[in-house]
Amino acid sequence: METELLGVPSTVLTTQPFVKQAKTMSRMRGDPEYGLAIIEHPIVTLTHEELLDRARVAAPQVISNLVDQ
């Protein structure tokens, strides 16, 4: 979110349990509609292939957040 303040289009990648916190932070920063890319939790224990699967889910969300802003 800090890079948005510098004029660099950005988005936040978060896992499902942290969506509420991410939305609260964006609201506190003055942008309640800030784009989030939301993936399943957890990620720390995943294999490389499982992480790629999460990235495949996140990528369209990230692109949409960056292009549609």
Q: What is the 3-state secondary structure (H, E, C) of the chain?
A: CHHHHCCCCCCEEEEHHHHHHHHHHHHHCCCCCCCEEEECCCCCCCCHHHHHHHHHHHHHHHHHHHHCC
Domains of the chain: total = 1
Which stretches of the chain score pLDDT less than 50? none
Give me the pLDDT at residue 68, please: 82
Segments forming the whole domain that contains residue 46: 2-67
Give me the pLDDT at residue 4, please: 83
Give me the pLDDT at residue 69, please: 64
Give me the pLDDT at residue 3, please: 87
Give me the pLDDT at residue 1, please: 76
